[in-house]
Amino acid sequence: MDEVRSGLAGALEGRRGVLARVLAGGVIRVGDPIEVEAVALPLEDALDLHPFRPEEIASVVAEYLAQASSAGLGEVRLIHGRGRGIQRAVIRRVLGELPQVLAFADAPPERGGWGATVVRLRREGP
């Protein structure tokens, strides 16, 4: 086991972040600063909201739609899942407040049905 830990420590030398410290045998305590590196993601015509926490949904949707509109996308799909409709309600509230949103509706069955919302956007970009 020490050999594996030593190998991991060598492989992770110079790496930052919590996972690197854990794998290298480091100890993380509550209150330790966590280093976060921004990652650029490609802008696509659909956004799956499942990975986001409920309290993040409104700001993620607003930011995504602002970028999609600026990029000239005319229609996007927000995938929120079927569930109990809580995420769907939050998304619909946000959509009603954004100036770049022209219209929105449930996706057709082949694109997610009531588990996704299709949004028509005002094109602001190229």
* DSSP one-letter string for 16-58: -SHHHHHHTT----TT-------------SEEE-TTS-GGGHH
Q: Within this chain, do residues 29 and 61 fall inside the same structural domain, yes or no?
A: no
Mean pLDDT (whole number) for 94-107: 96
pTM of the model: 0.67
**Length reported for the chain:** 126
| CA 89 to the chain's CA centroid | 18
- Give the total number of structural domains in the chain: 2
Q: Within this chain, do residues 108 and 61 fall inside the same structural domain, yes or no?
A: yes
The answer to whether 74 and 104 have CB atoms below 8 angstroms apart is no
Radius of gyration (Cα) for the chain, nearest Å?
A: 20
Residue 7 lies in a domain: yes
DSSP state, residue 89: H
Residue 85 lies in a domain: yes
Q: Within this chain, do residues 63 and 24 fall inside the same structural domain, yes or no?
A: no
- pLDDT at 110 exceeding the cut of 70: yes
- Which amino acid is located at 51 in the chain? P
Q: Within this chain, do residues 68 and 95 fall inside the same structural domain, yes or no?
A: yes
Mean pLDDT (whole number) for 64-75: 94
pLDDT, averaged across the chain: 80
pLDDT for 31 equals: 67
More confidently predicted of 32 and 115: 115
The answer to whether 122 and 70 have CB atoms below 8 angstroms apart is no
pLDDT for 126 equals: 59
Structure-token pair, residue 104: 């929105």
Q: Please write the tens of the pLDDT for every residue from 12-63.
A: 455 544 444 444 555 656 666 767 676 666 789 999 999 988 899 999 999 9
Mean pLDDT (whole number) for 56-78: 94
Interatomic CA distance for residues 50 and 24, integer angstroms: 31
Region for 112 from its dihedrals, namely left if φ exceeds 0, alpha if ψ lies in -120 to 50, beta otherwise: left
Domain that holds residue 114: 46-121
Q: 3: pLDDT confidence band, cut at 50, 70 and 90?
A: very low
pLDDT for 47 equals: 94
- pLDDT at 108 exceeding the cut of 60: yes
Q: Within this chain, do residues 51 and 31 fall inside the same structural domain, yes or no?
A: no
Interatomic CA distance for residues 72 and 61, integer angstroms: 16
- Which amino acid is located at 69 in the chain? S
